[in-house]
C-alpha cells in the first residue's frame, strides 16, 4: 500500500491535464507535393515505399493519409516478424496426408479481410532480413498471405530508412524493390515549425475529373508506348550497383505502374512536380527524367495550328518549351515554304517577343530569315524583331571578346 501511494505521489499534480493540452492541435489545408503524390499512388492501387531519415514524419504522414481517405490503418513492423508470418503458419489437421497442411494467416490479415478495406503499413522495411523480404514478395504483388487473399479495398504502403541510418539495415532485394513506387520523404521546415506551434497541415485529396478519364488513359498509353519505341533499351534495365537495385528501376512491371500513375495524375490535373515524383519513383531518375522531357514535347502545340492563326496563338509559358514550339514552326515553313506561311511565322515570332522573353526568338528569326525567296517582300514584322536580333548578336560578340581577353591574360 505504501509503495502504491509512493508511485501515485511521484506523478506531479496536473500532469494529465498538461498532457491533454499539449495534444490539442488544429489543422489547416495546405498544398503538399509529397502527400499528393502519395495519395495518387495509393488511389492507383500501387504499393508505395517512403524513404526518409528516422524521425522525419513518415508514420505521421501515413496516419494523416488514413484519416483523409477514411481507411483503418494497420501497422506491421516487418523487421520483427518471421518469414512464416507473411507466407502463412502451417496448421496440421486430422489427416494431413489427405487434407494437406493449410497455411494460416496472421490475425492482422484476418482483420483486414473482415473489414474489406484498410491501409496496410509495413514499417521498417529496410531492417527486414532477406528471408523476410522474400516472404513479402507475394504479399506486395499478389496480396496473398498463406491461403488468404487481401480484398481489393486494401492499400499497401511501406516505409524504410536508408541503409546508412537504419539499425542493422539491409539493401532491399531487386524483386521486392521493383514492386514499389519509391518516394523520397523530406521534411518542410515551415510545416514543422507551424505544427509545433499547434497547427498542422490537413491533407487535401486530389479529385479525378470523370470527363477526363478516357483522355487521361489515352494520353498515358501514348506517352509510355511512344517513349519506349524510341528508347527500347529502357524497357528493362537492371542497375549494376547493389544499392541502386534496391530503388526504382525500369522493367515492364514498373512501366505498367508508370502508365497508371500518368493516367491518374492527368485525370487529377496534378502539377509537373507531382508527376515528376511519381514517374521517377517508379522507373528511376534517369529514365523518369527522359520520359518527362518526352511528355513536355507531346504537350507542344501543333505548328500548323500556330501558323493558321498567329495573332491568337497560345504559346507555352516555359522558355524551353516556347523555344521548341518556335523551332517547330520554322521547321514546318522549311518543309513547305510558301509566302503566306513565311509571313505568318514572322507574326508568330513578334507575338512570342511581346508575350515572353525576347531572347527565345533570336535563333528562330535568324533561321526564318534564311528561308526568304527573292520575290518575297520583307514583312513589317521583321523591323520589330531586328533590334532584338541585333542586340543579341552584339551581346554574343561582347561575350566572345571577353572570353578572348581572359584567355590572353592566362
Is residue 290 located within the same domain as residue 401?
no
pLDDT at site 279:
97
At residue 290 the predicted structure's pLDDT band, cuts being 50, 70 and 90, is: very high
H or E segment and range at residue 120: strand 117-123
| Domain membership flag for residue 20 | no
pLDDT at site 128:
84
| Domain membership flag for residue 17 | no
For the segment 6-53, what is each residue's pLDDT rounded down to a tens digit?
Answer: 455 566 777 888 988 988 888 888 778 888 899 999 999 999 999 988
| Domain membership flag for residue 13 | no
| Domain membership flag for residue 10 | no
At residue 264 the predicted structure's pLDDT band, cuts being 50, 70 and 90, is: very high
The C-alpha cell of 262 is what? 500518368
CA proximity to 215, closest of 138, 333, 142, 298: 298
pLDDT at site 396:
42
At residue 145 the predicted structure's pLDDT band, cuts being 50, 70 and 90, is: confident
pLDDT at site 120:
93
Which of 65-79, 88-102, 354-368 comes out lowest in average pLDDT?
Answer: 88-102
pLDDT at site 8:
53
**Rounded mean pLDDT, 119-139:** 87
pLDDT at site 395:
39
Q: How far apart are CA 284 and CA 250, in angstroms?
A: 7
| pLDDT above 70 coverage of the chain, percent | 86
**Rounded mean pLDDT, 256-267:** 95
Is residue 126 located within the same domain as residue 75?
yes
CB 194 within 8 A of CB 62: no
pLDDT of 64 over the 90 cut: no
Domain range spanning residue 217? 210-298
The C-alpha cell of 114 is what? 473482415
pLDDT of 4 over the 60 cut: no
pLDDT at site 284:
95
Q: State which of 252, 280, 298 marks the end of a domain.
A: 298
Which of 89-93, 101-105, 291-295 comes out lowest in average pLDDT?
Answer: 89-93
DSSP codes joined into one string, 240-304: SSHHHHTS----HHHHHHHHHHHHHHHHHT--HHHHHHHHHHHH-HHHHHHHHHHHHHHTSPPHH
Is residue 362 located within the same domain as residue 223?
no
Q: State which of 151, 176, 202 marks the end of a domain.
A: 202
Is residue 69 located within the same domain as residue 195?
yes
pLDDT at site 10:
61
Domain count for the chain? 3
| Domain membership flag for residue 355 | yes
| Domain membership flag for residue 134 | yes
At residue 399 the predicted structure's pLDDT band, cuts being 50, 70 and 90, is: very low
pLDDT of 182 over the 60 cut: yes
pLDDT at site 42:
92
Cβ burial 257-294 (10 Å sphere, 16+ → b, else e)? bbbbbbbbbbbbebeeebbbbbbbbbbbeebbebbbeb
Which of 195-199, 216-220, 288-292, 396-400 comes out lowest in average pLDDT?
Answer: 396-400
Is residue 135 located within the same domain as residue 105?
yes
CA proximity to 76, closest of 159, 166, 144, 150: 159
**Rounded mean pLDDT, 341-364:** 85
| Conformational region of residue 352, where left means phi above 0, alpha means psi within -120 to 50, and beta covers everything else | alpha
Mean of all residue pLDDT scores within the chain: 83
The C-alpha cell of 233 is what? 533499351
Is residue 40 located within the same domain as residue 134?
yes
Q: How far apart are CA 178 and CA 364, in angstroms?
A: 44
Q: State which of 181, 202, 223 marks the end of a domain.
A: 202
**Rounded mean pLDDT, 173-181:** 92
pLDDT of 398 over the 50 cut: no
**Rounded mean pLDDT, 196-213:** 83
Phi and psi at residue 148, to the nearest 5°:
-100, 140
Q: How far from chain centre, in Å, is Cα 318? A: 20
Q: How far apart are CA 360 and CA 358, in angstroms?
A: 6
Is residue 113 located within the same domain as residue 219?
no
pLDDT of 260 over the 80 cut: yes
**Rounded mean pLDDT, 97-119:** 81
| Domain membership flag for residue 5 | no
**Rounded mean pLDDT, 169-198:** 87
Is residue 138 located within the same domain as residue 195?
yes
| Domain membership flag for residue 96 | no
Mutual angle of helices 213-230 and 252-268, in 10-degree steps: 140
Mutual angle of helices 272-283 and 252-268, in 10-degree steps: 170
At residue 376 the predicted structure's pLDDT band, cuts being 50, 70 and 90, is: confident
Is residue 214 located within the same domain as residue 191?
no
Cβ burial 67-96 (10 Å sphere, 16+ → b, else e)? eeeebeebebebbebebbbbbbeeeeeeee
pLDDT of 180 over the 70 cut: yes
Is residue 130 located within the same domain as residue 173?
yes
Q: How far apart are CA 301 and CA 196, in angstroms?
A: 47
Q: How far apart are CA 121 and CA 160, in angstroms?
A: 11
pLDDT at site 50:
93
pLDDT at site 95:
63
pLDDT at site 394:
44
Is residue 135 located within the same domain as residue 280?
no
pLDDT at site 240:
87
CATH number at residue 58: 3.40.50.300
Residues 6+ apart with CB under 8 A from 179: 47, 137, 140, 141, 253
| Conformational region of residue 346, where left means phi above 0, alpha means psi within -120 to 50, and beta covers everything else | alpha
For the segment 154-167, what is each residue's pLDDT rounded down to a tens digit?
Answer: 999 999 888 666 55
pLDDT of 146 over the 90 cut: no
Is residue 41 located within the same domain as residue 189?
yes
CB 150 within 8 A of CB 143: yes
pLDDT at site 173:
87
Amino acid at each position: 500500500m505504501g509503495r502504491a501511494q509512493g508511485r501515485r505521489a511521484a506523478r506531479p499534480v496536473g500532469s494529465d491535464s498538461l498532457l491533454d493540452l499539449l495534444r490539442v492541435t488544429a489543422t489547416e489545408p495546405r498544398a503538399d507535393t509529397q502527400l499528393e503524390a502519395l495519395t495518387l499512388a495509393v488511389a492507383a492501387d500501387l504499393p508505395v515505399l517512403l524513404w526518409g531519415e528516422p524521425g522525419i514524419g513518415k508514420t505521421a504522414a501515413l496516419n494523416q493519409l488514413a484519416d483523409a481517405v477514411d481507411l483503418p490503418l494497420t501497422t506491421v513492423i516487418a523487421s520483427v516478424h518471421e518469414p512464416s508470418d507473411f507466407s502463412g503458419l502451417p496448421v496440421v489437421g486430422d489427416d494431413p496426408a489427405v487434407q494437406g497442411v493449410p497455411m494460416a494467416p496472421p490475425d492482422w490479415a484476418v482483420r483486414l479481410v473482415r473489414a474489406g478495406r484498410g491501409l496496410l503499413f509495413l514499417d521498417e522495411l529496410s531492417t527486414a532480413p532477406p528471408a523476410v523480404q522474400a516472404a513479402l514478395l507475394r504479399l506486395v504483388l499478389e496480396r496473398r498471405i498463406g491461403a488468404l487473399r487481401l480484398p481489393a479495398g486494401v492499400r499497401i504502403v511501406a516505409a524504410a530508412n536508408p541503409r546508412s541510418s537504419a539499425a542493422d539495415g539491409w539493401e532491399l532485394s531487386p524483386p521486392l524493390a521493383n514492386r514499389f513506387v519509391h518516394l523520397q520523404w523530406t521534411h518542410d521546415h515551415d510545416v514543422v515549425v507551424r505544427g509545433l506551434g499547434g497547427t498542422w497541415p490537413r491533407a487535401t485529396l486530389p479529385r479525378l475529373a470523370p470527363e477526363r478519364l478516357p483522355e487521361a488513359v489515352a494520353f498515358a498509353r501514348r506517352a509510355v508506348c511512344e517513349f519506349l519505341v524510341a528508347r527500347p533499351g529502357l524497357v528493362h534495365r537492371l542497375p549494376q550497383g547493389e544499392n541502386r537495385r534496391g530503388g526504382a528501376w525500369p522493367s515492364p512491371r514498373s512501366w505498367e505502374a508508370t502508365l497508371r500513375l500518368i493516367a491518374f495524375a492527368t485525370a487529377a490535373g496534378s502539377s509537373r512536380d507531382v508527376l515528376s515524383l511519381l514517374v521517377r519513383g517508379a522507373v528511376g531518375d534517369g529514365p523518369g527524367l527522359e520520359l518527362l522531357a518526352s511528355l513536355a514535347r507531346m504537350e507542344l502545340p501543333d505548328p500548323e495550328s500556330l501558323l493558321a492563326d498567329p495573332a491568337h496563338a497560345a504559346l507555352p509559358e516555359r522558355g524551353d518549351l516556347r523555344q521548341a514550339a518556335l523551332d517547330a514552326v520554322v521547321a514546318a515553313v522549311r518543309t513547305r515554304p510558301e509566302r503566306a506561311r513565311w509571313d505568318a511565322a514572322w507574326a508568330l515570332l513578334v507575338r512570342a517577343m511581346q508575350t515572353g522573353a525576347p531572347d527565345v526568338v533570336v535563333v528562330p528569326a535568324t533561321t526564318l530569315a534564311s528561308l526568304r525567296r527573292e520575290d518575297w517582300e520583307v514583312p513589317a514584322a521583321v523591323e520589330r524583331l531586328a533590334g532584338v536580333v541585333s542586340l543579341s548578336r552584339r551581346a554574343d560578340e561582347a561575350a566572345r571578346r571577353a572570353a578572348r581577353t581572359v584567355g590572353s591574360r592566362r
